[in-house]
Amino acid sequence: MITFDAVSKRYPDGTVAVNELTMEIPSGSTTVLVGPSGCGKTTSLRMINRMIDPSAGRILIDGTDVTAVPASRLRRGIGYVIQNAGLFPHRTVLDNVATVPVLTGTPRAAARREAAALLERVGLDPALGRRYPAQLSGGQQQRVGVARALAADPPILLMDEPFSAVDPVVRTELQDELLRLQADLGKTIVFVTHDIDEAIKLGDRLAILAVGGRLAQFAAPSQVLAAPADDFVAGFVGRDRGYRALSFTAGDGIAVRPEPTIRIGDVPTGADWLLVTDDDGHPRGWVDAAAHPGGTPVAEADLRLGGTLLGPGGSVRTALDAALSSPSGRGVAVDADGRVTGSIRAADVFAVAERTARDEPGEPPVPAPAVLSKDRPA
């Protein structure tokens, strides 16, 4: 557990970066520090590993004041990931990842073997270990940065806006990778971002900081969305907080309807959109039957991709996205193996969302997979 006990940071010119911050960050969970520029997010993060010393108050890790531990030893037990990865340009990827283990006495050959395994764990081909950082894409460099932070198997991982410098597609992939890693490793992660959607997706708890380093609210994302502590939090979360809150509403009550399917090479009939699958029943895309007069067979070039897929155990928010992002207006439902089980309509999703908002009892849930496997095109 990381404890902030009335921690403040004041600079000689009178600037208050953090103002009497008090909170407890539970072990094995992800806590996201989120807020506008100048609210003390990064300062708070860096005080944990003593890159910045507080002006007042205490920070404790499992009951031990961080100032009672030599800074070098403290930092060896804390992984640190920053924007743009911060890799050593003159070292190979393997040697970048192996940096801390070698410094702590692990033989270089053994450290490199462990580094190669870590590259695989963060979703990279171990063969990339022979390259230098400049030979990698931005997303690959960020994955290497995460691998390096994990190399000494630290119980705490600090992440300072690590995904903000990459494009939206890569950013989503890195967020999903972090969720997967955390499910496997159970680290105590403190993550800084200014993006409320990223915070909601990644955080078990959100620490909403206001300008001047004031802790405005510290709670689970669902609670922040449902009951903002004050006008600042309500404004920062935004007018879309009702839509964002649907991320925490189970989609079990959304009806999944039968959906006819065809395959590449089949001749579409009718005047509606038809769902195209592969031979194993996985969705490939949609085809407009009305655009095939004369009975021409469906080709790859005819496919229109949908949005996300409706899979087991998801949320109403993602279900709505699946329906609205599909060219047919019907979101694709799949089972745990990614095979099509039917489709959902936006009207059915809205009905569940409205019923939930009013806390009204509804019909018994339709037994079906409930919402989405993220970022997989239909």
Burial of 240 (0-12, 13-18, 19+ CB in 10 A): exposed
**Confidence (pLDDT) at 293:** 65
For 303-339, write each residue's pLDDT tens digit. 888 777 778 777 788 788 888 888 888 888 888 888 9
Of 163, 160, 166, whose CA–CA distance to 138 is shortest? Answer: 166
pLDDT of residue 338: 87
24: exposed, middle or buried (Cβ count in 10 Å: 0-12, 13-18, 19+): middle
> What pLDDT was estimated at residue 356?
67
Domains of the chain, each with CATH number or no CATH: 2-248 (3.40.50.300), 261-373 (3.10.580.10)
Residue found by looking up tokens 């300072």 in the block: 160
- The span from the CA of 138 to the CA of 240, in Å, is 30
Report whether pLDDT(374) > 70: no
AA identity, residue 73:
R
Q: To the nearest whole percent, how much of the chain has pLDDT over 90?
A: 28
**Which pair of structure tokens corresponds to residue 131?**
């390259």
Judge whether 203 and 217 are in contact, CB under 8 Å: no
Cα–Cα nearest to 17, from 53, 50, 61, 49? 53
Mean pLDDT over 34-45 rounds to: 91
Average pLDDT rounded to a whole number, residues 19-48: 93
Contact 270, 289 (CB under 8 A): yes
pLDDT confidence of 205, banded at 50, 70, 90? very high
Q: Does residue 359 have a pLDDT over 70?
A: no
Q: What are phi and psi of 221, to 5 degrees?
A: -55, -40
What percent of the chain has a predicted confidence (pLDDT) above 70?
93
Q: What is the pLDDT of residue 73?
A: 86
**Is a pLDDT exceeding 60 seen at residue 214?**
yes
- Selection from 208, 186, 205 nearest residue 44 by Cα: 208
> Sorting pLDDT into bands at 50, 70 and 90, what band is 362?
very low
Q: Please, which pLDDT band fits residue 368 given cuts at 50, 70 and 90?
A: very low
Residue 358: the pLDDT is 61
Q: What angle do CA 49, 53, 56 make, to 5 degrees?
A: 125
Local structure of 276: helix, strand or coil? strand
Supply 176's token pair: 């999903």
Mean pLDDT over 130-153 rounds to 88
Range of 23-32, 96-105, 229-238 with top mean pLDDT: 23-32
Please give the angle made by the CA atoms of 55, 59 and 61, to the nearest 5 degrees: 160
Tell me which of 128-132, 229-233, 317-321 is least confident: 317-321
Q: Mean pLDDT throughout 289-309?
A: 79
Is the per-residue pLDDT at 375 higher than 50? no
